[in-house]
Structure 1
Amino acid sequence: MIRVSLSAPRPTAGRLGLVLLAAALLAGCADSIAGKGFDEAAQTAGAALGRQPVWIRSDEDRAKAQARVAALLQKPLDPDDAVEIALLNNRGLQARYAELGLSAADLAQASRLPNPGFSFKRLSSNGDLDIERQFSLDAMGVLTLPIRHAIEKRRFEQAKLKAANDILVTAANVRQAWYRAVAAQQAAVYVGQVKDAAEARVDLARRMRRTGNWSLLDYAREQAFYAETVARIARAKLSAAAERERLVRLLGLYGGDLAFTLPERLPDLPAALQDTGDLEARALAERLDIRAGRAEVAGLAASLGLTRTTRVINVLETSYYRNSLSGQSRQTGYEIRLEVPLFDWGDAKVAHAEQTYMQAVDRLAEQAVNLRSELRESYGEYQTAWDLARHYRDEIIPLRQKISDEMLLRYNGMLVSAFDLLGDAREQVDSVTEAIAAQRDFWLAETSLRFVTLADTGRPDSAPALSLAARN
């Protein structure tokens, strides 16, 4: 009779430390891949923005970011500073960077050999002892490791492009929100000045009415103009507050940071339209969603090849045996386990992979068609917005000022009535408000054109066909 006694060594502190160290190194591998991937995405987006994105992953990173945000808020925000604050402080954008971490973990997992298996069986009967030991390895997992790694690497490249696209979309939305907020604030200030003038005029009309120099009709018209101006300024203040809050949300600000200031007026119009060159060719080559679509198609093509290769051999496992039996020689050998494709030949799996691939191809083609259309639309808006803003600046506003000066002279000479003077004042208010809106629309269109060649912004905040709908 043979007795076999097996005992496991007691784990020591040193061995436990080695296990923990190995686990940390494995976890750090995926983390390192994600960090390098973000650096590449940040470099891609940062080159277009002139501001470097930061992935905040520690308390130290957050402290540095908060210090930088506080410094930028000490002066009136320009659009570039607003973009930098959003890149540091927008928590939704920071959350989207986690997709890089998930994709990096998948890539790290695909880079590792499948774990081997070990089994031990001990049977005894009437003093006889039967010991069976088995060592197994997923051979198919080993053979397909290079292909699986290549597929996950392409998916990781897609994740990097998506992260860069998210950065650029956030930057575009911040710039447009900044222009809207400044324009709304500028319009509210102007309407406030009109209100002050209307208040002074209605007070003068009240005194003149008491002395009998004004008719009841003229006095009522002045009162109506003042009342309408009060309503107009209420709407203007509400619009300015709403646009400022939209900017605040994108910047991720709260608490004491809400006291930041904006410039008093929008930037001046450029002297000429920018030379856009071959927008279509540049956009098709550089736009991130198109590049991500190409990477997806390439990845699915590789996946389709793997699916076709393994459509029959779904399970291939090899095992090594070393058995001991009382009174007999030790047995060694191996076992190969192969799944027999008796009922499922893998045709459904291949068909699914083929349809997924063709779906991605058609979506990429649709993206290219839509991109060409968006370019034409964006450039049309950009050019028309520039023409309209210049028209208001160079033609309408100077003419309105001349008319106002002439009307005031004629009124002082008693050649026109107070009603005529009041009607001119109303038209002048509308013209100035529309001029501000036209200037705002130009900068919205300029931002839209700038980013349409870089990222899929979806044009959510672009000017609504220059409708001037935001009149106050």
Structure 2
Amino acid sequence: MGAEDAPPLDWREANDTVGQFQRGHIDVLRWEQANLKETPEPPAPAASLSLQTAADAVRRAWTAHLSLAGVQAQLGPALTEAVAQGRWMMVDPSMHRRVQGLGELLAVAREARQAWIQAVAARQGVGFHRESLIAAETAHELGRRMVQVGNWSRLQGAPASLALSEARMALQRAEYAQALAERELIRVLGLTGRHDHVALPDSLPALPDALIGPDAVDAHLQRLRAQLQRAEAMRAAPRTRMAYEAYRASHVLAAGYRDEILKTRELMAEEAVLRYNGMLKSVWDVLSETRQRFAAAAETVNAQRDFWLAEADLQWVLQGGEPASFVSLGGGGAAASAAPAH
């Protein structure tokens, strides 16, 4: 059939179809990835245990320590639940003299709470790395096609290939960190061999609206020192100062990432799309900004994780706990809050 015999083109239908892809090449390639993928991704392994809050993890960890049932009975349901919920300052330090084993109950709670925080943060971070990989794959595919038709040299396409390799390796590291964090959570809960995977929320809790104030910390410290022997009381003050400094600094960083860095990256990514639609930016500029936005989101999660780890350390210190070290605020690396020393 010749060109003159071809059916007339429905231009309205064609325009409507193209209009679905508001960002041109980017949306077309994403549509191709979603609809033309030959091998679908394997489903995530089914979870046999759901831990939607840190309190769920704490309660589960307590059940693995049979001796703690009596401690909970002595402490009472209201204070036991306050500890599970992370409101440890409701427990007066004098309770340590009246409730035998309270220190162990709190140490187990702190370890479980921090393991849950690490696992949720790792899971949340993997999601951002996957999105970053999609952007890198899109840029690489566009570059490959440019090289294929002769519009680019192989050298011009190399940056997109390099970005794709880096995104794949970053996702590999993030997925490995997620597996380790989940395995550690299962170990802390005493469930190794009984559960392989746990269902966790998609994100960490939001930062609190208000922080524990220095006056409240000092008042609680004074009550704690009254219950300690002289040598222990002398160590309590510097430990509390360090814990509170980590708590305040981690909140400043987490809020800064959330309110400044991430919001700015989101604005830059949105502006890049607008300028691309106005033919003032290239598609690679848009994809680069997209990757930067997801990287900022991952760093925001790390900072948020560090705050909640520091918060657990502070509350434990105010009950006489002695962390071997405090959370590291170095950015993307794993937090270095040590397990409690027994």
Q: Return the alpha-carbon distance in structure 1 between the equivalents of residues 284 and 134 of structure 2.
A: 19
Residue 78 of structure 1, aligned match among 43, 53, 60: 53
The aligned runs of 1:61-460 (5 Å cut-off) are: 75-90=50-65, 163-275=101-213, 277-286=215-224, 291=227, 293-294=228-229, 364-365=230-231, 367-417=232-282, 420-421=285-286, 423-456=288-321, 458-460=322-324
User: Do 1:218 and 1:419's aligned partners in 2 also have CA atoms closer than 8 Å?
Assistant: no
User: Do 1:284 and 1:368's aligned partners in 2 also have CA atoms closer than 8 Å?
Assistant: no
| Corresponding residue of 1:16 | none
Question: Are the structure 2 counterparts of residues 394 and 171 from structure 1 closer, same or farther at C-alpha, using a change threshold of 3 Å?
Answer: same
Alignment of 1:463 with 2:327, yes or no, is yes
SS at match of 1:399: helix
User: Do 1:185 and 1:264's aligned partners in 2 also have CA atoms closer than 8 Å?
Assistant: yes
Q: Return the alpha-carbon distance in structure 2 between the equivalents of residues 186 and 225 of structure 1.
A: 22
Q: Return the alpha-carbon distance in structure 2 between the equivalents of residues 239 and 452 of structure 1.
A: 27
| Corresponding residue of 2:4 | none
Q: Return the alpha-carbon distance in structure 2 between the equivalents of residues 402 and 265 of structure 1.
A: 22
Question: Are the structure 2 counterparts of residues 426 and 260 from structure 1 closer, same or farther at C-alpha, using a change threshold of 3 Å?
Answer: closer
Q: Return the alpha-carbon distance in structure 2 between the equivalents of residues 160 and 278 of structure 1.
A: 23
SS at match of 2:195: helix
Q: Return the alpha-carbon distance in structure 2 between the equivalents of residues 74 and 279 of structure 1.
A: 36
Shift of 1:279: 2.3
Shift of 1:74: 5.1
Larger Rg: 1
| Structure 1 residues 83-112: Cα deviation after superposition (integer angstroms, max 9, x where no partner) | 011111147x76xx9xxxxxxxxxxxxxxx
SS at match of 2:101: helix
| Structure 1 residues 311-339: Cα deviation after superposition (integer angstroms, max 9, x where no partner) | xxxxxxxxxxxxxxxxxxxxxxxxxxxxx
Q: Return the alpha-carbon distance in structure 1 between the equivalents of residues 159 and 96 of structure 2.
A: 65
Question: Are the structure 2 counterparts of residues 185 and 201 from structure 1 closer, same or farther at C-alpha, using a change threshold of 3 Å?
Answer: same
Q: Return the alpha-carbon distance in structure 2 between the equivalents of residues 281 and 268 of structure 1.
A: 27
Question: Are the structure 2 counterparts of residues 84 and 276 from structure 1 closer, same or farther at C-alpha, using a change threshold of 3 Å?
Answer: farther
User: Do 2:147 and 2:153's aligned partners in 1 also have CA atoms closer than 8 Å?
Assistant: yes
Shift of 1:196: 2.4
Structure 1 unaligned runs (5+)? 1-72, 98-156, 295-363
SS at match of 1:277: helix
Q: Return the alpha-carbon distance in structure 1 between the equivalents of residues 334 and 146 of structure 2.
A: 33
Q: Return the alpha-carbon distance in structure 1 between the equivalents of residues 186 and 65 of structure 2.
A: 10
Q: Return the alpha-carbon distance in structure 2 between the equivalents of residues 222 and 82 of structure 1.
A: 42
Structure 2 unaligned runs (5+)? 1-47, 72-94, 336-342
- Residues paired across the two proteins, number: 265
TM-score (norm 2): 0.68
Q: Return the alpha-carbon distance in structure 2 between the equivalents of residues 417 and 244 of structure 1.
A: 40
Q: Which has the higher contact order (CA 8 A, sep 6+)?
A: 2
| Structure 1 residues 154-191: Cα deviation after superposition (integer angstroms, max 9, x where no partner) | xxx99976621111111111111111111011101210
| Corresponding residue of 2:12 | none
User: Do 1:187 and 1:436's aligned partners in 2 also have CA atoms closer than 8 Å?
Assistant: yes
Please identify which structure carries the higher strand content.
1
Aligned residue type for 2:205:
P
Q: Return the alpha-carbon distance in structure 2 between the equivalents of residues 385 and 416 of structure 1.
A: 37
Root mean square deviation, CA, Å: 3.1
Aligned residue type for 2:330:
S
User: Do 2:132 and 2:290's aligned partners in 1 also have CA atoms closer than 8 Å?
Assistant: no
Question: Are the structure 2 counterparts of residues 461 and 380 from structure 1 closer, same or farther at C-alpha, using a change threshold of 3 Å?
Answer: closer
User: Do 1:90 and 1:250's aligned partners in 2 also have CA atoms closer than 8 Å?
Assistant: no
SS at match of 2:215: coil
Q: Return the alpha-carbon distance in structure 1 between the equivalents of residues 114 and 334 of structure 2.
A: 17
Shift of 1:426: 4.4
Identity %: 33
Question: Are the structure 2 counterparts of residues 213 and 162 from structure 1 closer, same or farther at C-alpha, using a change threshold of 3 Å?
Answer: farther
SS at match of 1:234: helix
| Corresponding residue of 1:105 | none
